[in-house]
Amino acid sequence: MIPLINFFVLIASSILFTIFYVKSVSPADLENKIGPSAFKKCATYRLVASCFMMVVAVNYIIYYWFPLPLPLANAFPWFWSISAFIVVIIAAPSSYLMYRGAKDAGEETMKPKREHEMYGGIYERIRHPQAVAELGLWWAIAFLVHSPFLVLFTFLYIPVWYYFCVAEEKDLIVRYGTAYEAYCKRTGFWLPKRSRSYEVS
């Protein structure tokens, strides 16, 4: 019973954080509908989405003790120490991207603000460093609990996070116009674009 309840909560929370996060990245579009309160409302949506993400993280950890009865091994065929090593390999660059992304985005990481200008720093290389970091951290948690199922399940988050980024960019175009469109042309979506100096003519 506990494995099924945990999995149900994981799925429900994943759906809810998807709904609230997408709502949170559309303050400019919402402002056109309800006025200046849109940015404050989107900050609330972001907080709610983050809470549901934390619930999912707890579900991942609970899964270690209460896995689903599936025709799949509950643990990898190697020692946990190897999974721990994989965690470090994934979590180190992901944590760095998360730190740099949050630092360069400032308050907008959690609280969209109308007066905020376009980001600099790492955002001059890739447009969504925090999204890449978050995806990596989900895999880090899955390996931390030594679960083949959760490693596979995490692949389902790739299109979810892609959708987050596309929804955010649509709103940023509404917010910043041609300046953001030009920014998109010179920067990579999830990976840095190759420098022109290295391109083969």
Give the pLDDT confidence of 116-159 residue by residue, as tens digits: 788 889 999 999 999 999 999 999 999 999 999 999 999 999 99
Q: Are 164 and 171 in contact (CB under 8 A)?
A: no
pLDDT higher than threshold 50 for residue 197: no
Q: Could you report the per-residue pLDDT of 163-173, keeping only the tens digit for each?
A: 999 999 999 99
On whether residue 149 sits in a domain, the answer given is yes
Nearest to 171 by CA among 112, 104, 106: 112
Task: Give 175's contacts (C-beta < 8 A, 6+ positions apart).
Answer: 27, 28
**Per-residue pLDDT, 110:** 86
pLDDT higher than threshold 70 for residue 199: no
What band does 95 get if pLDDT is binned at 50, 70 and 90?
very high
The number of residues in the chain equals 201
On whether residue 200 sits in a domain, the answer given is no
Domain boundaries, position 61: 2-70+78-191
**Per-residue pLDDT, 42:** 95
**Per-residue pLDDT, 196:** 52
Mean pLDDT across the chain, nearest whole number?
Answer: 93
Q: How many domains does the chain have?
A: 1
pLDDT higher than threshold 80 for residue 201: no
CATH number, domain of 19, equals: 1.20.120
pLDDT higher than threshold 50 for residue 76: yes
**Per-residue pLDDT, 194:** 77
Q: Are 182 and 120 in contact (CB under 8 A)?
A: no
On whether residue 131 sits in a domain, the answer given is yes
The continuous run of DSSP H or E covering 85 comes out as helix 80-105
On whether residue 199 sits in a domain, the answer given is no
Mean pLDDT of 70-91: 96
On whether residue 43 sits in a domain, the answer given is yes
What band does 198 get if pLDDT is binned at 50, 70 and 90?
very low
The model carries a pTM of 0.90
Distance CA 79, CA 68 (A): 21
